[in-house]
Amino acid sequence: MLKESFTQAAARHLQDAKILLNKQRWDNAVYLAGYVVECSFKVLVEIYIPEGKKAVKKYGHDLTELQGTAMDRLRVIYPVLMQLPSDRTMGTVLDQNHPERRYYKSEIWNQTQAEEAVNRAEEIYQEIIPKLVLDGKISSEEL
């Protein structure tokens, strides 16, 4: 069985989303930006919720649950996490049909929407991952 690394997946998807954005591949940039957010939140769930991997599987690809229910639960258990993002995908296309959007026909998203999605995904990644490295929760080698 292959070992999962949500930290590495988030970094990899962010890099690829930026490349696709620069290549004007709006749809796939948005798609991968959604996975940046999903993986970033899954890192938190894996670290802070006692059930770890089981909890990650429970939330699946549901960004609404990950940034809603899961983060609410984490904030109660670990009040230090209060500063972490809440409903951060609101107002972007990241809020719409993740991960089913991978099956949408081409040219659903435009440049502005793709830029907003990738930028928001990067903001969320930067709000979560570097802090976990600085706090010693994940190793910088994990990046």
Between CA 81 and CA 103 the distance in angstroms is 34
pLDDT of residue 65: 76
pLDDT of residue 52: 73
pLDDT of residue 18: 98
Name the residue among 44, 56, 15, 48 with its Cα closest to residue 32.
Answer: 15
- The CATH classification number of 6-142 equals 1.20.120
| Contact between residue 40 and residue 132 where contact means Cβ atoms under 8 Å apart | no
pLDDT of residue 138: 92
- Report the predicted TM-score, pTM, of the whole model to 2 decimal places: 0.85
Backbone φ and ψ of 23, nearest 5°: -90, 5
Name the residue among 56, 64, 125, 122 with its Cα closest to residue 95.
Answer: 64
pLDDT of residue 32: 95
| Contact between residue 89 and residue 63 where contact means Cβ atoms under 8 Å apart | yes
Q: What is the mean pLDDT of each run of 10 residues along the chain (143 residues)?
A: 86 98 96 93 87 79 76 74 66 78 82 96 92 90 79
Q: Where are the domains of the chain?
A: 6-142
